[in-house]
Chain A
Amino acid sequence: GENVEQHPSTLSVQEGDSAVIKCTYSDSASNYFPWYKQELGKGPQLIIDIRSNVGEKKDQRIAVTLNKTAKHFSLHITETQPEDSAVYFCAAPVNTDKLIFGTGTRLQVFP
């Protein structure tokens, strides 16, 4: 079936360094790719999304890149801070309607 693969499952970085999380998807018709951040005891919160008509989108320290040919997209966080520590999920639509989520990346930023 359709799925979304996410790597790495855990990521530890020093404060100020960059973090990159990668996802691949299988449905070539997918055209919307959101990223969510989940903090302990909370629901996933949308932090950035990208549509297939652009290759990159940036919002302050967060950026997402999309390669439709290779069917993968990545989240980039620059100048990481301890408050960036959380679990991050990518997602992609299947059959144009429901989202399939990746397995999550636990990011730890050490001061």
Chain B
Amino acid sequence: QITLQESGPALVKPTQTLTLTCNFSGFSLTTSGAGVAWIRQPPGKALEWLALIYWDDDKRYSPSLASRLTLTKYTSKSQVVFRMTNMDPVDTATYYCVHRSMGDAFDVWGQGLMVTVSS
């Protein structure tokens, strides 16, 4: 059974860097085809894809946010760390860590972590 759990601060100040950790189980990021994505959802708004890291360390970022995003995987710890720099109140959202299936869809989602950006 695949599970993912996001952790990190619930509140960050404007201009700070957000660091979120995804701890997962039930799969390995060394397995060919595996991937972990980050997706966010501002309150009352639509889902927004942010980034994806593959088993081979290939990384894809949302073009509109790429300059602010970094993904790192720690395979032995079954962790993916997500960083977003220069946080702004518009970045207030629930942030999800998600498993990429072999069918290229997002088949298992973490419960999400609400992050508020406010001074």
Q: Do A and B bind each other?
A: no
B binding-site residues for A, Cβ under 8 Å:
none
